[in-house]
Amino acid sequence: MFSNLDDYREAAKRFLPEFAFCYLEGGSEDGVTLRRNRAAFERITFEPKMMVDVTAVGTGTELCGKYAAWPAVVGPTGLNGLYRREAEESLARAAHRFGLPFVLSTASTSLLEDVRQCSDGELWLQLYVQRDRRIAEDMMARARGCGYSTLVLTVDTPVPGQRDHYARTGFKLPLRWTPRLLWDVVTHPRWTATVGIHGIPQLVNLARSAGLGANIEAQAAALGSQMDMSLEWHDIAWLRRHWQGKILIKGLLSVADAKRAAQHEADGVVLSNHGGRQLDGAPSAIEMLPHVVACMPRGFEVYIDGGVRRGSDIAKAVALGAKGTLLGRAPLYGLAAAGIDGAIAVLAQLNRELETCLRLLGCADINALTDAYLLGNCVSALEFE
């Protein structure tokens, strides 16, 4: 296996056709938000404490009322079947191996029932809401019946962001075969032999709940042009009627919206700019984190995603008050590079890095990690530049 996440990213880039790698890697418009996600982490500086017994370090915590081996979640990502066959099953198995929850996307390419069958781990469901809300209601019922415990409602996608790489690489659903796209596939024979030979993956969960069958054009429309743009805060009450577990609201980027989520009895929020794939010029989640945490009631859980590439990034988020971080692209690099073994190796790398970071910080228990382990100017360094 490889030495760091960048090596897995490069291996993924070699394996995948350009259109698939750009789908994994790309952001919206000029990539301003995408770059900002990493830059914000890099502006945070540690202040380690020395002469502390770190023979053993504890990383265990509680996420949405359930034990997790470390404060991370393998987050929801769509169309993962572009990278490997049975991608969601592999990600769920990898997450369970490391004692982490796995979040299945509405845009998954494996049935939620199949993912449950392959893993005894903690499973969450990420939900997009279409104009026909019976689709979401059916998907929630199916997930409840399979023991999914937490619902993650994504609210930052009333329409897809402007993603220039779609036009550049010729990728769209349904796929239109152009000479460039054919050449892209032909020049990646390993991907073609293991993934492409089976055709473009289907949005099978959406198809089953919407009764769409194998019509990828209708599936793509349900995921894009048929999204419910009327979704409002009072609709959390509608969710509560169909979901008895924990509810997190994902895609918020302001103190005011986080307060509204708490007022409408959500259990927590995921601060997120959708990995830089929606509104270009938005703040990063880590920038907003300390401001949101300072205003939330006790017991209200705040998670972040976007730009997490090292175990030390997880430590920075926890020090600033995050309950945990959602991992998006990081495990996908491993999955694309080497299948389930790659996903496992990436999670193992992040876990080792987190434990090393805690030892070097002089913090023997991640639950004791606060901003006292950061330089005093770190929060001000996260002010918008």
Question: Under DSSP, is residue 376 helix (H, G, I), strand (E, B) or coil?
Answer: coil
Q: What is the model's pLDDT at position 379?
A: 60
Question: Which residues of the chain have a pLDDT value below 50?
Answer: 384-385
User: CA-to-CA distance for 32 and 284, rounded, in angstroms?
Assistant: 10
Write down all domains in the chain, each with its CATH number in brackets: 5-381 (3.20.20.70)
Q: State how far the alpha carbon of 141 is from the alpha carbons of 83, 207, 237, 248, in Å.
A: 28, 15, 16, 17
Q: What is the model's pLDDT at position 380?
A: 58
Our answer to whether residue 291 is catalytic in this structure is no
- The region, left, alpha or beta by phi > 0 then psi within -120 to 50, assigned to residue 259 is alpha
The length of the chain, given as a count of residues:
385
Residue 271 tokens, joined: 């601060």
User: CA-to-CA distance for 313 and 325, rounded, in angstroms?
Assistant: 9
pTM given for the model: 0.96
